[in-house]
Structure 1
Amino acid sequence: MTIHAKTALLGSEWVSSLRIEIDAGSISSVEIGELPQASDTCVDVLLPALANLHSHAFQRAMAGMTEVRAAGKESFWTWRTLMYQFLDRLTPEHTEAFAAQVFMEMQEAGYASVGEFHYVHHQPGGAPYSQLSELSQRIFAAALQTGIGLTHLPVLYTYGGVRREPLTGGQLRFGNDLDRFLILVDDCRGKANQANADTVVGIAPHSLRATSPDDLQRLLDQSPTGPVHIHIAEQVQEVEDVQAMLGQRPVGWLLEQAAVDENWCLIHATHMTGAETAALARSGAVAGLCPITEANLGDGIFNGSVYLEAGGRFGVGSDSNIRVSLPEELRTLEYSQRLRDQSRAVLVRSEGSVGHTLYAGAALGGARALARDAGEISVGKLADLMAIDRSHPTLCGLADDQLLDGLCFAAPDGLVTDLWSAGRHMVQDGKHVSRDSIVPAYCSAVADLLARL
């Protein structure tokens, strides 16, 4: 397969008339100043596609259903209540249909890959399925149907709180002790061939609330390779509970107790001291930021300016999937910093384009978090590529070096014309190639689930 782009982002430079060849899912050649050939797929502006580094696919079906407040209840109550109602009735068939829908939406939004932080493992009530990895296999099937690049992250979730409270209610579907979890991970790795060839299986200790220090260390000892993702310091109460139990704030404790390095992704890391922020940046880990979900849940604002000044790496994810919009994740990240600091262009370290800082940083950081050799257009990299339409009124008057500012801050959704996931051309003319079968299946699954509530 060969792609010709009128304009493309090659490293940090904009080039014209770029022609690239793709072989076995990777970029095999890059030529500048070439005329298109008859067999080429021709696009306007070609960019490295981003990785969506944090997703809970099943929560897509809840979008728009929890924006109410109940009298006398804390603000998180309505969201949590509906999630557990869903969990009481969620079937494997629902899981697959919901994942296919949201993976398709991610690709149409410009994400070539996803990190699925998968914590629903068992039947309602907590009994395992006959195949322990049944629901993970449904995620693999959705990835195969949509063609998205998948880093699957089975979640270790053992306790209901930092004091090792037992799991109750809907949490029972999450629960594994360490020994069973290791069997689950092995099973997932054995079944990963049911998805695309570039599928990766990592691990995800859910949080310091849901596992114990001893189990975390044993897990890391027995999983020496592959990506490690963990929820950390998302809300103030979590920070206070961990500090009371473990004697340190969660990020500080983790950096001191675990060998956190470039294989790690710390999801949220919202509430950090300045010292913790700098230490996380030095570790080489990726901060997994989910600005739309963090804003929706009222989590707080990431310490972005200090983190980037210290050389920290970051990526973005859609988390609860209440809204899947790549530009909005990036603009929400920057706008949160501006509102806090009452300043503009906060996440640019010295000078330059904010849009380029956000987009290029998220492309490289997201790829690293998913253990995916992508994030830039270069020979040998996976062909995770996105094309956009420059003729849209929000972009047509912009110079090359303004395009990413326009994409991040001015453009609406829907500018993605083409999307390749490891060379699989899954979005063409703005539409996923399997949309017409995926959407009806999703709507049917939602109707079936709601009828059971």
Structure 2
Amino acid sequence: MSDRISARRVLTPKGWLSDCAVSFGDDGRISAVGAEGFDPASAVGTLLPGIANLHTHSFQRAMAGLAETRAPGGKDDFWSWRKVMYRFLDALTPEDIEAIAAQVQVDMAEAGYTTSAEFHYLHHQPGGAHYSDMAETSARIMAASHDSGIGLTHLPVLYTYGGLDGRALGTGQDRFGCDVSAFEKLYAAICGHSGNMPVDFRLGVAPHSLRAVDRAGLDACLALCPDGPIHIHAAEQVKEVEEVFAHLGARPVEYLLGEMPVDQRWCLIHATHLTDGEVSSLAFSGAVAGLCPTTEANLGDGIFPAQPYLNAGGCIGIGSDSNIRISLAEELRMLEVSQRLAVRQRTILASDETPSNGRYLYEHAASGGAQAVGRDAGTIEVGKLADLVALRDDMPFLDWPEPDQCLDAWIFGAEEPAVSDVWAAGRHIVRSGLHVRREPIRARFAATMRKLRDAL
């Protein structure tokens, strides 16, 4: 059995195709792209390859707004935000984690994401005791993805130390902590649960950062996951860069590139603060820079040097990270406008081959995101997973004669939701702009939020 989507315009690696049909089978993979079978009566307007949200901590969505009050003395930064986050997470039960994750995945799908990569470090009970099933909270993330239908790459996090000096985890971090032995057991338990997941599920690993994992931990992660994605926070904050240099004699990205086999499987999350040499070396490595522009702006992290990095052949992907906002178009827009503010010019991320700012951003995020999450997707072509996004065909704002203009208008101008339909590995999870499981998932999330409100 196969399904077929007709579209007036389809973005493919060969460019835009008009009046085209995209077919896919029960395996969730595209089997045909072409004019045969095109049905104008059922056609969507614009069909795009889906984009993976390559970095998300889903539970943080529920605390959106709780860290926007100025601290005494007026010194607010990433580190003060982190204290609020630690207090919040102690109230979360496994049931809460699942309900929040399912709602986040619904919001992602309605925004146009087809896959979620959960950078998951909330492993244990408050106080640090293990659940009877060590993989309890990972199983909850997987259960949420079953409910939402979104593609999932699960990235269990190794988090061992409270700093590069090897100090013990501090208050608020005890739900994260694993030494290598405990993490190996946790990873085995997660592997056991993953047998029930769809065939497009991917399991990777995430050494949290050089602040939280030593060389032995990095090596252990590589041994546990010899083939899947490897994600790590790197160079998000100036204080972090200074601390890593003081203890390891190299900056975070410099250290990873020099000491680890960084290649196409790796995704360095944020990588905000880079030297010119790190820019070119990271691009040459083939790794993906995992950019989270809205969160990086919200936390005051800084601006990633996207233009020189992309000009050097670097790969990027997009993540919603803290999920204070979930909007694919907004992430791409924020990435571009931050570059404009930094260099005081316009239309920075584009090229002679792809002068459309929106298309350039979209295609790089689609291909880089698929690479980062280990998913055979990111383009519309035969053999790829049917991760597909259709834009609404009833918005005059998007109805321009040139399809590139449609992408530019969506990313830089549209205020109302523009996504009409989403397929994840062929699963039709958004129809007419709304997730197919929206109401029951939203009701459960609302009940969870009421409970957390009373607890906090």
Question: Which TM bucket (shorter chain)?
Answer: over 0.9
CA contact (8 A) 1:51 1:112 kept: yes
> Residue type of the partner of 2:67?
T
1:412 aligns with 2:415: yes
Distance 1:44 1:189 in 2: 40
| CA separation of 1:230 and 1:413: change in aligned 2, threshold 3 A | farther
Matched, 1:17 2:19: yes
Shift of 1:399: 1.6
Tell me how far apart the structure 2 counterparts of residues 233 and 212 of structure 1 sit (CA, whole Å).
Answer: 16
5+ long unaligned stretches in structure 1: none
Structure 1 segment 219-368 matched on structure 2, within 5 A: 219-350=221-352, 352-368=355-371
SS in 1 for 2:396: coil
Which stretches in structure 2 are left out of the alignment for 5+ residues? none
- Are 1:148 and 1:421, in contact at CA under 8 Å, matched by a contact in 2? yes
What is the aligned counterpart of 1:121 among 120, 123, 126? 123
Question: How far off its partner does 1:268 sit?
Answer: 0.1
Aligned residues of 2:7 and 2:38 also touching (Cα < 8 A): no
TM-score, reference length from structure 1 = 0.97
Q: Aligned to 1:218, what secondary structure does the other structure show?
A: helix
Deviation at 1:214, TM superposition (A): 2.4
Q: Which residue identity is paired with 1:380?
A: G
Give the whole-Å Cα distance in 1 for the aligned partners of 2:217 and 2:118.
22
Match of 1:79 among 78, 81, 88: 81
**CA deviation string 1:199-234 (max 9, x = no partner):** 111000000000012221233234321100000000
Query: Equivalent of 2:164, from 162, 165, 180?
Result: 162
Q: Distance in 2 between matches of 1:221 and 1:332?
A: 37
For 1:19-76, what per-residue CA distance to the aligned partner results, in whole angstroms no more than 9, with x for missing partners?
12111211111122643188xx632211101100000000000112221111225303
Secondary structure of residue in 2 paired with 1:267: strand
| Map 1:105-144 → 2, pairs under 5 A | 105-144=107-146
Secondary structure of 1:336's match?
Answer: helix
Identity of aligned residues (%): 53
For the residues of structure 1 that align with 2:141 and 2:35, how far apart are their CA atoms?
Answer: 39
Does the 8 A contact of 1:327 with 1:413 survive in 2?
A: no
Question: Does 1:445 pair with 2:445?
Answer: no
Instruction: Report the residue type matching 2:377 in the other structure.
Output: A
Alignment check: 8 A CA contact 1:418 1:429 kept: yes
**Aligned partners of 1:343, 1:398: CA distance in 2, in Å?**
27
User: In structure 1, how many angstroms separate the alpha carbons of the residues matched to 2:308 and 2:40?
Assistant: 47
Report 1:192-207 matches (<5 A): 192-207=194-209
1:395 and 1:104 mapped to 2: Cα distance?
A: 24
Q: Equivalent residue of 1:170, what SS? A: coil
Q: Secondary structure at the match of 1:4?
A: strand
Does the Cα contact within 8 Å between 2:332 and 2:361 map onto a contact in 1?
A: yes
Q: RMSD in angstroms over aligned alpha carbons? A: 1.4
Indicate how the Cα distance of structure 1 residues 161 and 413 shifts in structure 2: closer, same or farther if over 3 A, else same. Answer: farther
- Of the candidates 436, 439, 449, which is equivalent to residue 436 of structure 1? 439
Secondary structure class of the residue paired with 1:324 = coil
State the shift of 1:12 in Å.
4.4
Deviation readout 1:225-272 (Å, 9 max, x if unpaired) = 110000000000000000000000000010000000000000000000
Query: 2: CA distance between counterparts of 1:387 and 1:207?
Result: 36
Contact 1:384–1:421 under 8 Å retained in 2:
yes
Paired with 1:412 and 1:372, the residues of 2 have a C-alpha distance of: 30
Q: Which moved more, 1:246-255 or 1:11-20?
A: 11-20
Runs (4+) of structure 1 exceeding 4 A deviation are none
Q: How many residues align?
A: 451
Offset from partner CA, 1:106-151 (integer Å, 9 cap, x none): 0000000011000000000000000000000000000000000000
TM-score, length of structure 2 as denominator length: 0.96
Structure 1 residue matching 2:397: 3-state secondary structure = coil
Q: How far off its partner does 1:398 sit?
A: 4.5
SS at match of 2:43: strand
- Looking at structure 2, the residues matched to 422 and 35 of structure 1 have their Cα atoms a distance apart, in angstroms, of 21
- Cα distance in structure 1, aligned partners of 2:251 and 2:410: 37
Q: Is the 8 A contact 2:200 2:425 kept in 1?
A: yes
Which residue in the other structure is 2:46 paired with? Answer: 45
Partner Cα distance (2:411, 2:38) in 1:
30
SS, match of residue 171 in structure 1: coil
Q: Which amino acid aligns with 1:191?
A: H
Separation in structure 2 between the aligned mates of residue 219 and residue 293 of structure 1, nearest angstrom: 26
Task: Quote the Cα distance in structure 2 between the aligned partners of 1:398 and 1:136.
Answer: 46
Q: Which residue of 401, 405, 418 corresponds with 1:402?
A: 405
| 1:32 maps onto 2:35 in alignment | yes
Partners in 2 of 1:274 and 1:404 — Cα distance?
31
2:153 corresponding residue in structure 1: 151
Distance in 1 (alpha carbons) for counterparts of 2:217 and 2:48: 41
- State whether residues 308 and 349 of structure 1, in contact with CA within 8 Å, keep that contact through their aligned partners in structure 2: no
Is the CA contact (8 Å cut-off) linking 1:205 and 1:229 kept in structure 2? yes
Tell me the distance in 2 between the aligned counterparts of 1:51 and 1:413.
22
Mapping of residues 377-388 of structure 1, within 5 Å:
377-388=380-391
Indicate which of 421, 425, 444 corresponds to 2:424. 421
Range that drifts further, 168-177 or 9-18: 9-18
- Which residue matches 2:98? 96
